[in-house]
Structure 1
Amino acid sequence: MKAEAWLFGVTTAFVAVVAPAYWFLAEDPTGTSALVMTALLTAMITLYLGFHASKMDPRPEDRKEGEIAEGAGELGFFPPYSWWPLWCALALGVIVYGTALAAWWLVIIGFTLGAVVLCGFVFEYYRGEHAH
């Protein structure tokens, strides 16, 4: 994870230099605050990755003498395709649309559909083709 920590560290340094320059050149409080928050968030990720990189054994890509073949093997579990995120997004769309129109009956329908769809999404791997 040292490579990732360095990547985020360089991004943090860049944004930390750009934020004051942007303030002096543009005097825009909105853009400056967005740049400052970006610098703080990338610094937080840098600290997290750096902390965990110091606690774990180096991966092949973290060592100078690491070989490509050392990284071979199973990488983890990757879920197959799923239609549930689409239905979750549509239920959320109904809720937002109902809120924008102040049609509370539509919001209630959206929450009801959202509860059913969320249960289907959560329990996707307990039934059907991809059951474990």
Structure 2
Amino acid sequence: MKAEAWMFVACTVFLVLVTPTYWFVTAGSEHGGDWTGTSALVMCTLLLAMISAYLGFHARQMDDRPEDRKDGEIADGAGELGFFPPFSWWPLWAALCLTTITFSLAMAAWWLAIIGGVVGAIALCGWIFEYYRGEFSH
């Protein structure tokens, strides 16, 4: 994770340098600076700094991965990487229910939001429990 942490640190440093430059370049405009762009750059800088701190903290806590060592070989990273879920329809139904709820709230159709919430709860339960029964149970 050390390489990833350094990539985010480099991006953070870049934005730390670019944000005040952007503010001073836009300060000559008739509105006295672009608040929207500057605040977006500040928030991106803080987000990247947070991710950099998180990755840097965890990189110190972990043992060296083969990717982080200079003498690491491809074979050192061999083995099981984890569980990757197979194809599933449940995320589609959950997303469609969330879309229905959002649309119904925008259109003030509360009855449709209730229907979307009930069907969404069923879709969420199906998504959570899909590995407890059927072909991919474990």
Q: How many Å separate the matches in 2 of 1:83 and 1:23?
A: 47
Is 1:90 matched up with 2:96? yes
Which residue of the partner structure matches residue 68 of structure 1?
74
Is 1:49 matched up with 2:55? yes
Alignment length (residue pairs): 132
Residue 131 of structure 1 and its aligned partner are, at CA, apart by 0.9
Q: State the superposition RMSD in angstroms.
A: 0.9
Letter in 1 for 2:15: V
User: Percent same amino acid among aligned pairs?
Assistant: 67
Residue 30 of structure 1 and its aligned partner are, at CA, apart by 1.1
Unaligned runs of 5+ in 2: 27-32
Q: How many Å separate the matches in 1 of 2:34 and 2:130?
A: 47
Structure with higher helix content: 1
Residue 23 of structure 1 and its aligned partner are, at CA, apart by 1.3
Residue 34 of structure 1 and its aligned partner are, at CA, apart by 1.0
Which residue of the partner structure matches residue 6 of structure 2?
6
Letter in 2 for 1:23: W
Q: Please point out which of 32, 36, 58 is paired with 1:30.
A: 36
Deviations 1:40-77 (A, max 9, x none): 11111111111111122111111111111111111111
Secondary structure, in 3 states, of the residue corresponding to 2:67?
A: helix
Structure 1 outlier segments of 4+, above 4 Å: none
Residue 24 of structure 1 and its aligned partner are, at CA, apart by 1.4
Residue 31 of structure 1 and its aligned partner are, at CA, apart by 1.3
Which residue of the partner structure matches residue 129 of structure 1?
135
Q: How many Å separate the matches in 1 of 2:39 and 2:100?
A: 33
Q: How many Å separate the matches in 2 of 1:47 and 1:93?
A: 35
Q: TM-score, normalised by structure 2?
A: 0.92
Which residue of the partner structure matches residue 114 of structure 1?
120
Letter in 2 for 1:22: Y
Which residue of the partner structure matches residue 84 of structure 2?
78
Unaligned runs of 5+ in 1: none
Q: TM-score, normalised by structure 1?
A: 0.96
